[in-house]
A = this chain, B = another copy of it.
Amino acid sequence: MRGVVLHAPGEIRVEDLPDPAVLEPGDAVLRLEATCVCGSDLWRYRGEDPFSTPQHMGHEYVGVVEEIGSSVHSLTPGDRVVGSFFASDNSCEICAAGYQSSCVHRQLMSGAQAQRLRVPLADGTLVVVGGTPDDAQLRGLLAASDVFGTGWFGARAAAVSPGKTVVVVGDGAVGLLGVLSARLQGAERIIAMSRHASRQQLALEFGATDIVAERGDEGIERVRDLTHGLGAHCVIEAVGTNEAMRQAFTLTRPGGHLGFVGVSHGVSFEGRELFMSHVHLHGGPAPVRDYLPELITRIMANEINPGRVFDLDLPLDGAAEAYRAMDERTAIKVMLRP
């Protein structure tokens, strides 16, 4: 099969790789219909997360079950499924509490930018899609696999609920879908921080009520003006840099909630500032598995269109161009068709 390999920072190649096979009784092998490049892939692509061996990239996928291991009981070959970036048993105490991405048996997925994918713990990890998705729905399902599930968790971690004012820091796919998630979770006012016209436009389509284009201290002042000088009840951080985390933290009012879903890089906090802030802090790798059933249902009912974040389509063999477009921010999110 064909698959995407990162050999060194900036060096993406699409290569002939061995087809994956069932290795454990709980495995499934999928033929992938859609995959994509994640903002978090860029840390390695840019050389900011070092690695020493070639990286089989990708952890977002929609596909059809081709083969199952002997212990898999909830799936049948031919089922169309969505999974996410951690395989999980979906039955341990941690999963039962809604934290499948910290499952005691979790396995980090990779290699989904390819034609086929082995998924361990398939019963716990994969969710079957009812019906046949059209193209917009397929894009939505692919978004649910990570960026929508992550935006959804950001909004949950930020304790979004009816009547709340929400700030979203970050206008990548996760930030934009954080806007959509905040709207679906009942936020009254959603302030999206973005300087890019096309992203501002999508934020408004997803339900943002205000756009703040200013950055740094000026952006903070603008949000303060919009929130009685107090900061927001709920802030979703969807970048991961220290600058973005600082901004998000500063914009959360005392007693408010900061949900952080950007993979942290170079962020640190003093205990005293956490203590004096009265901010609730929660985040991490999203337990996408917990949200997939609801998100899939809403997507297949055409209630929402999260796949709008994919603004560039390429065949799998165009992966190098896909990474470039993500890196240079000429695309919000690039879909790859295996």
CA distance A41 to B230 in the complex (A): 30
Is A255's beta carbon under 8 Å from chain B?
A: yes
Is A312's beta carbon under 8 Å from chain B?
A: no
From A169-177, A179-187, A262-270, give the one contacting chain B: A262-270
Is A102's beta carbon under 8 Å from chain B?
A: yes
Q: Which chain B residues border A264 with CB–CB below 8 Å?
A: 270-272, 274-275
Which of B99, B253, B269, B270 is within 8 Å of A271, CB to CB?
B269
Closest partner residue, chain B, to A103 (CB atom): B254
Q: Which chain B residues border A245 with CB–CB below 8 Å?
A: 271
In the complex, are the beta carbons of A94 and B284 less than 8 A apart? Answer: no
Is A101's beta carbon under 8 Å from chain B?
A: yes
In the complex, are the beta carbons of B281 and A94 less than 8 A apart? Answer: no
Closest partner residue, chain B, to A254 (CB atom): B102
Q: Mark A263-291, 1 if CB is under 8 A from B, else 0.
A: 11111111110111111111111000000
In the complex, are the beta carbons of A242 and B230 less than 8 A apart? Answer: no
Which of B93, B101, B266 is within 8 Å of A228, CB to CB?
B93
In the complex, are the beta carbons of B271 and A267 less than 8 A apart? Answer: yes
CA distance A275 to B262 in the complex (A): 9
Q: A94-B253, A97-B255 given as contacts; is B268 within 8 A of A102 (CB)?
A: no
Is A260's beta carbon under 8 Å from chain B?
A: yes
In the complex, are the beta carbons of A102 and B282 less than 8 A apart? Answer: no
CA distance A167 to B228 in the complex (A): 38
CA distance A265 to B272 in the complex (A): 7
Closest partner residue, chain B, to A99 (CB atom): B255
CA distance A94 to B253 in the complex (A): 8
Which of B254, B268, B274, B284 is within 8 Å of A276, CB to CB?
B284
Is A104's beta carbon under 8 Å from chain B?
A: yes
Q: Which chain B residues border A280 with CB–CB below 8 Å?
A: 280-282
CA distance A277 to B240 in the complex (A): 15
A268 to chain B, nearest CB (A): 5
Q: Which chain B residues border A240 with CB–CB below 8 Å?
A: 271
CA distance A284 to B274 in the complex (A): 7
Is A219's beta carbon under 8 Å from chain B?
A: no
In the complex, are the beta carbons of A268 and B267 less than 8 A apart? Answer: no
Is A69's beta carbon under 8 Å from chain B?
A: no
CA distance A266 to B275 in the complex (A): 12
A223 to chain B, nearest CB (A): 15
Q: Which of A68-83 contact B (CB under 8 A)?
A: none
Closest partner residue, chain B, to A270 (CB atom): B268
A91 to chain B, nearest CB (A): 14
Which residue of A242, A254, A268, A280 has the most chain B CB atoms within 10 A of its CB atom? A254
Q: Given contacts A264-B272, A275-B283, A280-B281, could you give 9 more A-B pairs where the C-beta distance is less than 8 Å? A: A101-B278, A267-B271, A268-B268, A268-B271, A275-B285, A276-B284, A278-B284, A280-B280, A281-B281
